[in-house]
Amino acid sequence: MFACPATDDFFRARIDQMIDLRHPLAVLASRMPWQEIEAAVAHRFVRKAHEGEAMPDLDLFGEKPQRKVLASKAGRPRVPLRVMISLLYLKHAFNESDEGVVQRWADTPRWQFFSG
């Protein structure tokens, strides 16, 4: 009846079917050179090792042996670079705070479409 033809599920409609694709933000999303922007800023978001001087841990009984620090695999996976770039753009364009842009992004399908 009203189901999405791609999924045959009423509750899994695609975002591009929910919004007006003539909206300026949707048009901008299709015209942005996302691959070139990502390539230009990717080096800024690379995980870097912190450089510094290793100091021995001292306590009441003398030095503790240094343990080798390994990169942790625990935690949340990284957010895609396009989402990070688009959130920075939306924050600047709509004069939002960090928390405000994330809250508004969660509530606005146009912003989600813009972010990919």
> Using one digit for the tens of pLDDT, what is the confidence trace for 32-81?
999 999 999 888 877 665 565 555 565 556 666 555 556 666 677 778 88
Statement: residue 8 has pLDDT above 70: no
How is residue 85 written in tokens?
């770039």
Assign 97 a pLDDT band (cuts: 50, 70, 90): very high
In a domain, 58, yes or no: no
Q: Would you tell me how many other CB atoms lie within 10 Å of the CB of residue 27?
A: 12
Q: What is the mean pLDDT of residues 75-93?
A: 87
Which among 114, 113, 111, 116 has a CA at the least distance from the CA of 101? 111
pTM of the predicted protein model: 0.65
Distance CA 74, CA 7 (A): 34
Domain limits for position 102: 16-44+79-116
In a domain, 24, yes or no: yes
Assign 14 a pLDDT band (cuts: 50, 70, 90): confident
* Residue 76, pLDDT score: 75
* Residue 1, pLDDT score: 40
In the predicted model, what is the mean pLDDT of the chain?
Answer: 78
In a domain, 53, yes or no: no
* Residue 87, pLDDT score: 92
* Residue 7, pLDDT score: 55
In a domain, 98, yes or no: yes
Is 71 within 8 Å of 64 (Cβ atoms)?
no
Detail the DSSP E strand segments found in 1-116.
Answer: 57-59, 62-64
Question: How many independent structural domains does the chain possess?
Answer: 1
Statement: residue 91 has pLDDT above 90: yes
* Residue 13, pLDDT score: 80
Reported for 14-23, long-range contacts at CB under 8 A and 24+ positions apart, including other chains, are 15/109, 15/112, 15/113, 16/113, 18/109, 19/109, 19/110, 19/113, 23/110
In a domain, 61, yes or no: no
